[in-house]
Amino acid sequence: MQVVTFDPQQFNFITAGESSYFLLRLPDGSMVLYDDCCDHRGGPLHLGHWDDTRKCLVCPWHASKYSEKVLRSRAIPLIQHSGRVTAVLDTAPTTQIKLVRKTILAQPR
């Protein structure tokens, strides 16, 4: 396992070896760190869109839907403190971690 602490204003995307995660701000302002790989066919979920009517994230490849409840229940746990977030990733201690800033199209508006 690795603990990662970062400024969510500066970084919103994490790569950990072959895995990637994105920070999604939900409509109520809370944040979840979610696996960027769609369960259905592996589409990049950060490139999906937020459906305001159904309150869900929609995969850009095959329109698989992820409700707020699902996003919250499957997300990597986050601790928010003093403008920073901390996550515990289930990766080997030697796994290379990269923090980057990407455009997250899936953000609720």
2-100 is classed CATH 3.50.50.60: no
pLDDT number for residue 109? 77
pTM: 0.90
Torsional class of 55: left (φ above 0), alpha (ψ -120 to 50), beta (otherwise) = left
Within 8 A by CB and 6+ apart from 83, the residues are 7, 8, 9
Q: How many residues does the chain have?
A: 109
Report domain extents, the chain: 2-100
pLDDT number for residue 10? 97
* Residue 3, helix vs strand vs coil: strand
pLDDT number for residue 22? 96
Tens place of pLDDT for every residue, the chain, 109 residues? 999 999 999 999 999 999 999 999 999 989 999 999 998 877 899 999 999 999 999 999 988 999 999 999 999 999 999 999 999 999 999 999 999 999 999 888 7
